[in-house]
Structure 1
C-alpha cells in the first residue's frame, strides 16, 4: 500500500482567522469548499494542513487525512482487521473516494484517494 501524504485536519470555528494564521507560517490556500480549506507549502505541496468547520458528508470531523494510492485495498484491509469503520467507503462530489476509521487512540482517520481525472 502506498501512502501519498498525511495531513492533519484542524477543526476550526473561525476559518478566516485560522487561514490567516497559517499563512503567517508560509502556507497558502490551495482548495476552499467553504466548509473545508486546504493550505499547502508553495515549495513542498505535500506539506499540508486542512481546516474544517464541519463535516458535510460524514457524522464526525476527522483528526487526520491519509491519502493512499488504492483506497479500496486499504478499506478491505481495515475491514478485515476488525477496526471500527466510522463512515463507509464512498465517492465524493469533489473527486475523492474515502472512508473514516477510528484508530486505537480514538482518533478519526479520513482515508482518501483522488479519483481518476481529479486534481491533486
Structure 2
C-alpha cells in the first residue's frame, strides 16, 4: 500500500458559514466538490486543500484526516493484522469512494480511502 495524499478533515457546524473563512480568508477558493455534508476547498494557486464536514453521511463519526491510498484492500488487511480498531467497515460509497475508518492507538480516527 502506498499513501497518495493526506487531507485534513475539519468538523464544522455549517458548510456555508465555513466557506467564508476557508475560501475567502485562506484563499482556498476552488470548491472541488460539495455533497451537502462535506466539501473540499483548494487553492487555485498552490493546490493546497482541506475538507470541511458537518456529520459524515454514512459513518458513525467524523475522521480527523483522510488518507488516500493506492490499495484499500491491503490497507485494511494491514490495519487488521496490527489489531487496530476498524470503526467503519470497508464500504463502497455512492459518491465513488471505497473506504474504511481506523482508530489510531492515540484515539484519532482516520478515513482510509481509495478513489474508484
Correspondence 1:29-48 to 2 at 5 A: 29-45=31-47, 47-48=48-49
Unmatched tracts of structure 2, length 5 or more:
none
SS in 2 for 1:78: helix
SS in 2 for 1:100: strand
Deviation at 1:75?
0.6
Residue 82 of structure 2 corresponds to residue 81 of structure 1:
yes
Measure, in 2, the Cα distance between the counterparts of 1:57 and 1:106: 20
Aligned position for 1:53: 54
What is the distance in 1 between the residues matched to 2:5 and 2:28?
16
- Tell me the equivalent position of 1:118: none
SS at match of 2:44: coil
Structure 1 position 43, deviation (Å): 2.9
- For structure 1, list consecutive stretches of 5 or more residues without a partner in the other structure: 116-120
SS of the residue 1:59 aligns to: coil
Count of matched residue positions in the alignment of Structure 1 and Structure 2: 114
Shift of 1:104: 1.3
Deviation for aligned residue 1:14: 2.0
Q: Where does residue 12 of structure 1 map in the other structure? A: 12
Kindly report structure 1 stretches of 4+ aligned residues shifted beyond 3 Å: none
For 1:33 and 1:12, the matched residues in 2 are separated by 14
TM-score (norm 2): 0.93
**Deviation (angstroms), 1:92:** 0.4
Output the aligned Cα RMSD: 1.0
Offset at residue 67 of structure 1 (A): 0.5
